[in-house]
Amino acid sequence: MALLPPLAFILCVVLLSWLLRTGRAHALALDQPNARSLHTTPTPRIGGLGIMAAMLPALAVGGEALLALLTLGLALVSWLDDRGGVPIPLRFGAQFAAALVWVACFGFSLWTLPAVVVLVWMTNLYNFMDGADGLAGGMAVAGFGAYGLAAWLAGDMAMAVPNAAIAAAALGFLRFNFPPARLFMGDVGSIPLGFAAGALGYQGWWRELWPWWFPLLVFSPFAVDATVTLLRRAWRGERVWLAHREHYYQRLVRLGWGHRRTALAEYAVMAAAAASALALTGVATPYQWAGLALWAAIYGGCARYVDRSWTGRAP
């Protein structure tokens, strides 16, 4: 079991290196720049194949066969979407079905429906946030790394090792995606990773490894940006399902921060959120709420900074 994380890293790096070296990366799926893109050069979006090739066996061997199967199904639908597009009802239908199957495994309760909705949202917000070099891969390293460390501290190696393997696979992908990116993740990587983030977060809460808020805080750099942006667009009456460049990270890139500086700043927030989530887990409830309130204030301040910097700039 201890070999799964390093093997996941090596497998991801070897596969993606081979796809790039042989030219198959460009032939499989190429992301062409458009008016909503932050990049200007056609770039292969097959990085998720490397992550999935390493992640799925690690989940299966690590005792998460059902999660591996559900994630594989979402990866296949997402790969078809990367290649030529899949109807929205089919995409969302597959996501709701996977979420319902997973949550139902832990029994039905008042939490079942909210958990399914949150799990589908986690699946999609990860995809929404996969729009700048190094961002989604970095979030996977920090997020699943925090899951693995929390499970290890709780003495649950059955949860610790698969999460560590996912983080290791994402680290292998970052070798090709850190700015300037040679590969993009694509839906085949972002959709399954978002689902796994929600699914394993729910499982960890059900096994009493962490409080309900732990996954939300760990992945808050993505959850807050995606949720606030969606609500703002909905409030303005915009079609929220269409691609856009209004996320806070997208505006930072367009404000002149560039992909590298934005990624490094986001990494700092990701590391701080993960570290504070781990620290708050072991303190009394009032301190946990105080910590969450502090993070709400931090995100509010960051959002205000970006909004004020953006005022008067070109859309």
Q: Above 70 in pLDDT, residue 312?
A: no
Instruction: Output the DSSP codes for 138-205.
Output: HHHHHHHHHHHHHHHHTT-HHHHHHHHHHHHHHHHHHHHHSSSPS----HHHHHHHHHHHHHHHHHHH
Q: Is residue 230 part of a domain?
A: yes
Q: Is residue 132 part of a domain?
A: yes
Sole residue written with tokens 């960890």: 204
pLDDT in tens, 131-164: 899 999 999 999 999 999 999 999 999 999 999 9
Question: Coil, strand, or helix at residue 314?
Answer: coil
Which domain, by its residues, includes 212? 4-310
Q: Is residue 169 part of a domain?
A: yes
Q: Is residue 315 part of a domain?
A: no
pLDDT in tens, 45-99: 999 999 999 999 999 998 899 999 999 999 999 998 888 778 889 999 999 999 9
What is the pLDDT confidence band of residue 297, given thresholds at 50, 70 and 90?
very high
Question: Coil, strand, or helix at residue 31?
Answer: strand
Q: Is residue 39 part of a domain?
A: yes
Cα gap 2→23, rounded to integer Å: 34
| Peptide bond connecting 179 to the previous residue in cis, omega within 30 degrees of 0 | no
Q: Is residue 59 part of a domain?
A: yes
What is the pLDDT confidence band of residue 193, given thresholds at 50, 70 and 90?
very high
Q: Is residue 64 part of a domain?
A: yes
Q: Is residue 274 part of a domain?
A: yes
Q: How many structural domains compose the chain?
A: 1
